[in-house]
Structures are given as C-alpha cells and as structure tokens.
Amino acid sequence: MDTPAAIMPNATSHAALIAAACRRIEAAQTPPSLGELAAEAGLSPHHFHRLFKAETGLTPKAYAAADQARRMRAMLAGDRTITDAIFEAGYNANSRFYEKAGQRLGMRPSDYRAGGANTDIRFAVGQCSLGAILVAGSPRGICAICLGDDPDALVRGLQDQFPRARLIGADAEFEQWVAQVVGLVETPALGLALPLDVRGTAFQERVWRALLDIPPGTTTTYADIAQRIGMPKSVRAVAGACAANRLAVAIPCHRVVRSDGGLSGYRWGVARKQALIEREATQAAA
C-alpha cells in the first residue's frame, strides 16, 4: 500500500514527483531501480510505474535507456574510446550496450562516430504543395522529412547530418514510401503507416511522443506540452525540442503554438506552418 505521501492532491503534484524522478535518473551513473525510484516518491512500485508512464509516455526503464543513449551519443562525439564511452554512459557491460546499439544509434557505434560510415541512407527529393520535400530512410525507417525552397539545400543538410554515410537514390520500394509521405503532407489526417527512425535525447523523445497525441485540425501550446510531460517550467526546452524535429508532419510540431496563439518559429518556415494548420482545420471541418 502506498504511504500517505503518495496521496497527492492534484496533477501538478504528480508532475513534480515525476519531474524529480526524471532528474534522479539523469543524474545517476547507473539507472536506479524501479523500487528505489518508487520509494523516493513515496509510492508503491506499481503506482509509480503507472504514474511515470502516464506523465512521460515512457516507462522508467525506457526513459533511463533513452538517457543513457543520449550520454553515449555525446561521448562518441568526443575523443573517448568506444569502450570508455560505454562505461561512462552507465552501461555496466559492453554486451548490454551492443544489444541495443542499433536501436538507439541507428547504426553501429563506430559508424555513428564516423558520421554514418558504412550506413546506407536512401533518399529522394520531390515536390509537394509546400515546396521541395526530401525524404530519407535508414534501415530502421524514415529518418528525415524536410521541407524547403531549395532541393539542393535539403540534400546538403542530409549530407551534413551523415557526412560519411552512403546516400543512395530511391529505388521503386522507397518511391512508394515517398508517395506515402507526400500523401501525409497533403492530407495529414490519413496518418503514416511507416516505421520512423527517431533519434533524439530522452527529453526530445518525450516531447515528440506528446506531439503525436495532438489530433489533426487542432493546436496546443508549448506550455501545455511542458505540462503533459511533467516539466511545466521547461517551455523553452519544449520549443527547442520542436525545433530539433527532423520528421516534418510525421511528428507534428507544427501543431504547437505560443500561448497567445502566435505561430512562433518553425524549422521549415512559418508560412508552411500556417498552411499546414489551415489545411488541417479545413479538412477536419469538411
């Protein structure tokens, strides 16, 4: 049975508990156990687990894994050896990291450090009603959907992200993926039945999961997203996570606006954000 401290008076208190647990996970060299986190929150493990997932969209174990991967990516960008980076990121055995390396980095650690070396990324550039569109996919799924005015600039951006990957022009199968992505841009309510290769920090992934819950034809605010993920004071960080999203429309950061209704910034241009919001509202009302 939960202790009296677990009888929280409102959702804000719940959010504060989970925010504290997130900070505890992020500060720990080795991920704390579910029992330890629950005890510190004054909750039973079952109640804490349920509350944590409701607030963040992740289980405590998944959140800890995402945070470890974030630290690992940061260390691989430095001059540490891969083995040193593995242990400094909190993995207590090489084998535990390598079991999940492909899932968390999208490729082998040595290839990630080498700018995507030995990784095949298929891509295609086309046109949609919002201008030029680039769609790229790794072996795990769609890893980039970018919009712009200059097709060459979109390709250069992909090259900058993976300077040593093998960029391969689209084949017939991938052209079908591209057609589905363009269909999503034109009619967002249809959704996208394709795998996504999502790569971000633990915090970014929490924000992006929350964005996926915003229905087409509606908008919400950065402050509301911050509340949903249990970190109400992280409004600017939420805006930063939206700006870091490289999967336009598939992760609908365009549905997030300022508290006064203003559109704020958008990675692919405020005019495109306005067009997407208006299109979705019209289609939802039809």
Q: Looking at the annotation, which residues are catalytic?
A: 253
The two beta strands, 256-257 and 220-221, are parallel
| One-letter amino acid for residue 26 of the chain | E
Rounded distance between C-alpha atoms, residue 38 and residue 43, angstroms: 5
Cα Rg of the chain, angstroms? 20
Place of tokens 């990784």: 119
